[in-house]
Structure 1
């Protein structure tokens, strides 16, 4: 695999540690209330209102909550795809059919994830999405997103580009995670919008 701009990695690691410390210290009540507010803001997005298929994810730990959003999208008749982590850190996808379709999975001692238990659709299934909801730790004023560093969503974004797919890319964050600058590398791709519990910020869509 090619390596790009590795000089930025120490800056990214330091920023990740800082942001994760804040998330890990959030009270459960704040996480729950933020999840409801986040869903309310996200559901106002035209990109979600018009979407037939949305690729999303199930929040875990201190991540901005997505469960209310997933259930509302499904109730609206939207086809929701959720990821399942593969051994090489790539992502497979399966359809979300309700809370009962989620199963806890632990990968090599990492944090337990909730993954869809239905039939796997293959990594390329994400290309069918009209909107892709991305996890992250921060986004900057140019729409550059900071992920956790595993590279799973870098592969997703590269796969979308290779397929010629152009879904709306939306990252879900807390308000304090919209920052002035995220260290960027040549392979990083900007998102089109960030949703926080208090609003939406859009970036120029290429």
Structure 2
């Protein structure tokens, strides 16, 4: 009996997050450092041209890779930065993160600029996830915050370029894909940048 997509996703989410949680702190740090090196490659700049883009990153929670150095690497090559802030169980907004600005706890486990920061729309989004496949399909954490934010930008004609951030152990052969799901343009792991079919079209 084939499970419904939601149940398949829940199983894959639990499985891949367990693998990520099992990584040592040293392996996670080494992986994040490798990701930073990959964004300096000419292939990354050619594919995503971050200079001048408003790039959304994230403060790490749980066993996510710490991409704060990666974000500063993007700033160094000309990107502006913003961070997602969860306002409630349905909504996130993106607040500009200026160089040297302080951050605060913003609820639901997120960290970002306070309410005095400008609310912006990202051109490039670094998206955390629990599992992914090479077609660009992702499984998030189940709350749907990023899905709704991306869909909102899409309806405004401001579809950002989407780069999933994950460790290689989070890859699966196939993620159940539903009509409301929006595929990623690429996935960045410690092993390199995986350009999806969507990006290659």
Scaled by the length of structure 1, the TM-score of the pair is 0.84
Mapped pair 1:64 → 2:65: yes
1:162-173 to 2 correspondence within 5 Å?
Answer: 162-173=155-166
Q: Deviations over 1:37-85 (max 9, x none)?
A: 1121134312154342112212222112211111222234421010110
2:140 and 2:189 map into 1 onto residues whose CA distance is 16
**Mapped contact 2:106–2:114 kept (Cα < 8 A):** no
2:27 to 27, 30, 36: 30
**Structure 2 counterpart SS, 1:60:** coil
Equivalent residue, structure 1, for 2:152: 159
**Structure 2 counterpart SS, 1:132:** strand
**Structure 1 counterpart SS, 2:98:** coil
- Segments of structure 2 that go 5 or more residues without pairing to the other structure are none
1:6-85 to 2 correspondence within 5 Å?
Answer: 7-44=4-41, 45-46=44-45, 47-85=48-86
Cα drift, residue 121 of structure 1: 3.7
Equivalent residue, structure 2, for 1:139: 132
**Mapped contact 2:105–2:111 kept (Cα < 8 A):** yes
- Segments of structure 1 that go 5 or more residues without pairing to the other structure are 1-5
**Mapped contact 2:133–2:175 kept (Cα < 8 A):** yes
Scaled by the length of structure 2, the TM-score of the pair is 0.86
1:98 and 1:137 map into 2 onto residues whose CA distance is 29
Equivalent residue, structure 1, for 2:185: 192
1:12 and 1:83 map into 2 onto residues whose CA distance is 24
**Mapped contact 1:138–1:146 kept (Cα < 8 A):** yes
Structure 1 stretches of 4+ moved >6 Å: none
**Structure 1 counterpart SS, 2:4:** helix
Say what the alpha-carbon RMSD is for the aligned residues: 2.1
2:12 and 2:136 map into 1 onto residues whose CA distance is 16
**Mapped contact 1:143–1:191 kept (Cα < 8 A):** yes
Cα drift, residue 158 of structure 1: 0.5
1:97-112 to 2 correspondence within 5 Å?
Answer: 97-98=98-99, 100-107=101-108, 112=109
